[in-house]
Structure 1
Amino acid sequence: MALYVYSIAAKGHPQRLDGLNGVGTRPAPLRSVTAGALSAVVSDISEEIRPKRRDLLLHQEVQERLMADGPILPLQFGYIASDDDAIQDVLETNADKYLDALQRLEDCAEYHVRVSQEDEEPLLQQILQDSPQAADLNERIRAGDPDPQLPLALGELVAREVEARQESLAAGLVQALLPFAREHVAHPPTGNDFLNLSLLVPEKQKEDLLTAQANLGREIGGGVGLRFAGPLPPYSFV
């Protein structure tokens, strides 16, 4: 029977998973597959797994339960192995790499930072105040200048300014947050976000990071949303 794989940990990890069953329409008990110094947490599965809400939440709950007792290498949702032998082969082949990664992640968690432009009006007003060229174009349009190129020229100028200011703000936020992280990964922004950042934060830096978050939230001004999520399993650093 195929196996759904949740996470990899050191053989000595306590893996306290009482009360949890696996993903799927017929949930099977969680168990371990061990090879050498490593162990994988798995459950039997007899179906093609899909990202349903219940299963996504259960996958995350398993990771968080494991993470509370020591470092883990969390797998993304949906990883399937053919059988115990296949998992043991992977653990044995990659033992040195996995053990190094577990040591690197010791006493750390992932924090996810997103920054978005929730309201453009304050930023647009600031651009009109700071840019004489933008202010002139805007005034000519408001005064009824019939030149059809004016709105296009203003739109392009404002778009360049918005991009430049967001890039500058994002760079400043990254520099302010990096001192609290052992490692970081910048992801491509999506939607209205212009910063999508993962931080690997040691436990001893957690409170300082949260204090910095609160201070930055007050400093960045209106119209910008700063969102933190964590502590999370370190998916971005496996």
Structure 2
Amino acid sequence: MTGNGVYVYAIIPVGTALPPGAVGVGGPPAALRRVDEGQVTAVVSDAPSRLRARRRDLMAHQDVLLGLADRGSLLPMRFGAVAPDEESVRAQLAGSQDGHLATLSHLDGCVEINLKALPAQDSLAAVVAEEKDVRRLREAVRRRPDYEANVRLGEAVATALSRRAAEAGKKLLRTLTPMAREVAAGPEVHGCSLNVSFLVDRSGSDSFRATVRRFADTHREHAEFRVAGPLPCYSFVSSRPLRTPVAGG
């Protein structure tokens, strides 16, 4: 172990196999190892001397989590979780073992699917046809074009696009919620009308995504839907031990 601390990827049930051939962050990539405590295990590696959010390390972190997720439930750590040493990791595992086991049981057999709804930028014709205020302002610009009229028209179009996307997103959310074990609202994302994650049975993830695709096809003039997943269940793990901030780079 280096003097830079221990990088923590996830907490898993004891006895879960590590992904064969998987390696961790750093250059050269660090070897993975286990830190066992009671009925839970932390998947760790040596932390690099300078940990930054580079694509290489972000992808390595994600690949480890995806490999572990294929083998069972896990509590994923966000990128940049570093503990001072293995004893600190064991102490955290011992102190929170009951909570970790309960969360692992809750997440067993599940994946996370994230959904974002954005305004459909290529639907101007539909907006003009369906939105009276936009149609009125557009006619005013045609009759007497000036800067202020164009600004008002642009604002009206942007407002209509955002509202239509939000309405479509809420409608899809009502459709998808019964298909999920749990739903978690995500942080606000610039340009998005909806950002939400679903805890879905792994066996039903294909059907879930197919439902989104069908809805998106029939509402393409209202919103653009972006789906990510299956993912490790970041949004459904309340405890994020050992997390430390990492600089961008």
TM-score between both structures, scaled by the size of structure 2? 0.84
Aligned 8 A contact 1:4 1:78 in 2 = yes
Unaligned runs of 5+ residues in structure 2 are 238-249
**Could you tell me which residue of structure 2 aligns to residue 143 of structure 1?**
143
Contact 2:168 2:222 in 1 (8 A): no
The structural deviation recorded for 1:55 is 1.4
Distance 1:154 1:45, change over 3 A: closer
Amino acid at match of 2:141: I
Match of 2:113 among 106, 111, 114: 111
- Could you tell me how far apart the structure 2 residues matched to 1:64 and 1:145 are? 55
Deviating more after overlay: 111-120 vs 26-35: 111-120
Task: Structure 1: give runs of 5+ residues left out of the alignment.
Answer: none
Q: Give, in whole Å, the separation in 2 of the partners of 1:43 and 1:144.
A: 67
Counterparts of residues 27-66 of structure 1 (less than 5 Å): 27-66=29-68
Q: Relative to structure 2, which stretch is displaced further, 136-145 or 4-13? A: 136-145
Cα separation, 1, equivalents of 2:149 and 2:186:
36
- Partners of 2:222 and 2:164 in 1: how far apart? 13
Q: Do the aligned residues in 2 keep the contact of 1:180 with 1:208 (CA within 8 Å)?
A: no
Rounded to whole Å, the distance in 2 between the matches of 1:230 and 1:21 is 22
Equivalent residue, structure 1, for 2:9? 6
* Selected match of 1:19 from 8, 18, 21: 21
Amino acid at match of 1:5: V
Q: Distance in 2 between matches of 1:160 and 1:135?
A: 13
More displaced, 153-162 or 28-37?
A: 153-162
CA contact (8 A) 2:10 2:74 kept: yes
Answer yes or no: is 1:127 the counterpart of 2:127.
yes
Change in 2 beyond 3 A, CA 1:186/1:69: same
1:91-110 paired onto structure 2 within 5 Å = 91-110=93-112
- What does residue 166 of structure 1 align with? 165
The 1-side partners of 2:30 and 2:224 are apart by 41
1:211 alignment partner in structure 2: 210
Kindly indicate whether the alpha-carbon contact (under 8 Å) linking 1:185 and 1:236 is maintained by their aligned counterparts in 2: yes
SS state of the match for residue 51, structure 2? coil
Secondary structure at the aligned position of 2:208 is classed as: helix
SS in 2 for 1:193: coil
Q: Is the 8 A contact 2:25 2:61 kept in 1?
A: yes
Q: Deviations over 1:124-158 (max 9, x none)?
A: 43333334443233212211277x75445444444
Single out whichever of 38-47 and 158-167 deviates more from structure 2.
158-167
In structure 2, what residue type is equivalent to 1:230?
G
Give the match for residue 192 of structure 1: 191
Matching of residue 75 in structure 1 with residue 74 in structure 2 = no
Q: CA 1:131–1:50 in 2, change beyond 3 Å: closer, same or farther?
A: closer
Residue in 2 that maps onto 1:175: 174
- Quick one: structure 1 residues 160 and 223, their matched pair in 2 at CA, closer, same or farther if it must change by over 3 Å? closer
Q: Please, what is the CA RMSD of the aligned residues? A: 2.2
Q: 1:51 to 1:152 in 2, by over 3 A?
A: closer
> 1:232 aligned to 2:235?
no
Aligned residues of 2:120 and 2:165 also touching (Cα < 8 A):
no
Q: CA deviation at 1:193?
A: 2.7
Instruction: Give the partner amino acid of 1:166.
Output: A
